[in-house]
Structure 1
């Protein structure tokens, strides 16, 4: 799929048109690159706190960002079930055009349980990457002018994961997430030459069947009335294979020639993160710093300039009062912020992506379970050099069901 960088730089006929796919967790013209927009494995706790979680330990909520945290959920909780839904509104801008689109779907399905006092586990299904775009533009091709180019892509790679956390010694826990990544992504590039009454179509397809692992560690330092948790996560990166097919059609859509073309390879970077979190009886304040070695990434069908990426996230959680006599006193409040440099340079342009979020956890069923409401705003891209600026707003609703023994909360 040649000249993909120019697609975002052209700015001629903007942009993301046609239907956006409801199964996609993130629809973006920037998903034209590689295997699309990479989605972090999260729960409602992480999403409402700006994505932090490397050093977060919560007694009542699942934290898939660091598998070492699973053991922090303790008795009387025996099981946790979580499912999340979202609606998303996207606005796309260039220096001369604007367009808006909406989508929605499932964010994740998570289930937590314990094998023993020292061994906890979590299983779930979540998106790994998403592709959703349709872009039209016109350019010259040799002696031909006003050649119509259409780029469209759709599909998802999903991950079915099983995470394990082991309390090795007092205050030290280790964790591993084993993931099975599966799904398919299809990208098409069509070149319509009116003067020749023919259409050349390139189809790229990625079909994934991969087993992957990432790791985590947490160490808790107990202070007088608080605790400081240090967390580490590591992911060695992953490779995907794909195939390219090219087909030449005439003006009647009859196939003139067809070629299966070359095999495609996508190499995604290794990443490493460190986190600090200060825990008190009623609150958590946490910060994460994550490094992604994008300079070692490669997409065989796209000539791109990668640069290493750093992500910083800061989050706050007020747990509420479990002994409160009023309903509002039981509610948990959350907020967070993140910023990251985008790992691909487009026409020599670098830019930051950032976002913020806030949420509330409302107890139901006598305080045993909760409905979590989260709002997030994300900003990706820039209008410099005729690139595309994307503003996204999401509203997420997560239902968390907990099995608790021996606790009965009362409120007016």
Structure 2
């Protein structure tokens, strides 16, 4: 069984980056910057409104703070797999459309190396691009009109290797060494039937660079209740970018091609603060705040009016029937609920693009030690219809498997 899971995990790591590149957004706002920024968080945190900077667990991974991996139990190896499906409805002043997309969300593994050192490796999406915008334009100096279409695809994937150090019984420090990679592609098609004009231009920016972020957690336990503080920080960093431009006719024959010298795009400074209160296995409450300094940054694809982003989230986890004397099947189920408010880095036509969501979920224990199936639902709204902008309303289903194995453990027989 262990060997099968090892092989399955290696295959997921090998092919995961291709699966993560699958288009998993239809938002027109993904035309700006590096695309739609995707929230971190594995199954447990998603059910709690993506809160978890101050969370740590011996049986579930938490990628919101690299210091959290210090909680992995001795001899345990934890595997995390997540898939996601999203139904969205987009509405503007005079139009409406809807659609569904789904993808592999992440794959990760965490393990204890020594009594004071733990590690985790994994793949997850960092940003995603997926839009199609059609317009009709007038030709200057002519009564004729022409049609143009903008299509975007791609996204940035994050591959990480994290280390967490136990500095004392109460203090934990972690660092993520990540590699960000992936294409951001924008295709513009121009068509005019009367003149037989048909051109296609493709701009492609391929990102690839290392990225570092850090985390700290401090825990105090009083009786059966633990109080934990979490901090995360990532400095402003540059990603290496290779830009190409291709012009083609309607038969996709290349008319012009240009490859620029490698440039750079900037990833903003990010800071996070979280607090949590946990009473044994009865209940848990977590509160997070994150900020990203986007103001003044520019991107080769499309730079809007970028402003600093702010995110607030709160979540809870509880087991209402844990003390039940009857052995009912739902006795050990975990229930989760959360709220999330995200003031994004976009300000368009004097309107801040904000996102609101409510989350709830369940955790079902599996037969193996510490393993669980986690299901989370999220309903929310993003954007506005004011000033001819677009509002997205969405329903999201997230399914996560958190699997535990005992490794490096030698059984003793008498």
Root-mean-square deviation over aligned CA pairs = 2.4
Q: Distance in 2 between matches of 1:196 and 1:350?
A: 41
Q: Post-superposition shift, 1:363?
A: 1.1
Structure 1 residues 151-162: aligned runs within 5 Å: 151-162=150-161
Q: Any residues of structure 2 matched to 1:214-253 within 5 Å, and which?
A: 214-240=213-239, 241-247=241-247, 249=249
Query: Residue 121 of structure 2 aligns with which residue?
Result: 123
Q: Which whole-Å CA distance do the structure 2 matches of 1:339 and 1:170 have between them?
A: 34
Structure 1 equivalent of residue 180 of structure 2:
181
**Cross-structure match for 1:72:** 71
TM-score by length of 2: 0.86
For the residue of structure 1 that corresponds to 2:83, the secondary structure is strand
Distance (whole Å) between structure 2 residues aligned to residue 179 and residue 344 of structure 1 = 25
Task: Give per-residue Cα distances to partners, 1:133-162, cap 9 Å, x unaligned.
Answer: 212121234234532120111123211111
Assess if the C-alpha contact under 8 Å between 1:150 and 1:190 holds in 2. yes
Residues 379, 178 of structure 1: alpha-carbon distance in 2 compared, 3 angstrom cutoff:
same
C-alpha contact (below 8 Å) 1:269/1:296 kept by paired residues: no
Which deviations, in whole Å up to 9, do the C-alpha atoms of 1:302-350 show, x marking residues without a partner?
A: 3421111111011111157778633211111111111121212112222
For this pair of structures, how many residues does the alignment match? 383
Instruction: Mark the CA change 1:195 to 1:233 in structure 2 (over 3 Å): closer, same or farther.
Output: same
* CA drift at 1:49: 0.9
Larger mean CA deviation between 312-321 and 105-114 belongs to: 312-321
- Alignment partner, residue 101 of structure 1: 99
Aligned twin of 2:17: none
CA distance in 2, matches of 1:34, 1:319: 42
Report the counterpart of residue 338 of structure 2 in structure 1: 336
Aligned residue number for residue 27 of structure 2? 28
Offset from partner CA, 1:71-126 (integer Å, 9 cap, x none): 12334x61111111122111111121111111111011111110011111111111
Q: For residues 301 and 401 of structure 2, what CA distance do their matches in structure 1 show?
A: 41
Q: Does 1:393 align with 2:395?
A: yes
- Structure 1 residues 152, 363: closer, same or farther in 2, change over 3 A? same
Match for residue 135 of structure 2 among 118, 134, 137: 137
Bigger shift: residues 330-339 or 51-60: 51-60
Q: How does 1:3-402 map to 2 (within 5 A)?
A: 23-75=22-74, 78-144=76-142, 145-240=144-239, 241-247=241-247, 249=249, 255=254, 257-260=255-258, 265-281=264-280, 282-319=282-319, 325-365=327-367, 368-402=370-404
- Match of 1:47, SS state, is helix
Distance in structure 2 (CA, Å) of the matches to 1:301 and 1:374: 34
Q: Check whether the contact 2:32–2:303 (CA below 8 A) recurs between aligned residues.
A: no
Map of 2:405 onto structure 1: 403
Contact 1:34–1:266 at 8 Å: present in 2 too?
A: no
Q: Distance in 1 between matches of 2:46 and 2:265?
A: 27
TM superposition shift of 1:236: 1.7
Residues 369 and 404, structure 2, Cα contact 8 Å, conserved in 1: no
Q: 2:11 maps to what in 1?
A: none
Q: For the structure 1 residues 285 and 150, does the alpha-carbon distance in structure 2 shift closer, same or farther, using more than 3 Å as the test?
A: same
1:25–1:127 contact (8 Å) kept in structure 2: no
Hey, what's the Cα distance between the residues in 1 that align with 2:285 and 2:252?
A: 59
> Are 2:346 and 2:353, in contact at CA under 8 Å, matched by a contact in 1?
no
Distance 1:69 1:320, change over 3 A: farther
**Local SS of the residue matching 1:53:** coil
Q: Which runs of 5+ in 1 are unaligned?
A: 1-20, 407-412
Which stretch of structure 1 is more off in the superposition, 284-293 or 220-229? 220-229
Determine the C-alpha separation between the residues in 1 that align with 2:61 and 2:322.
18
Moved over 6 A (4+): 320-324
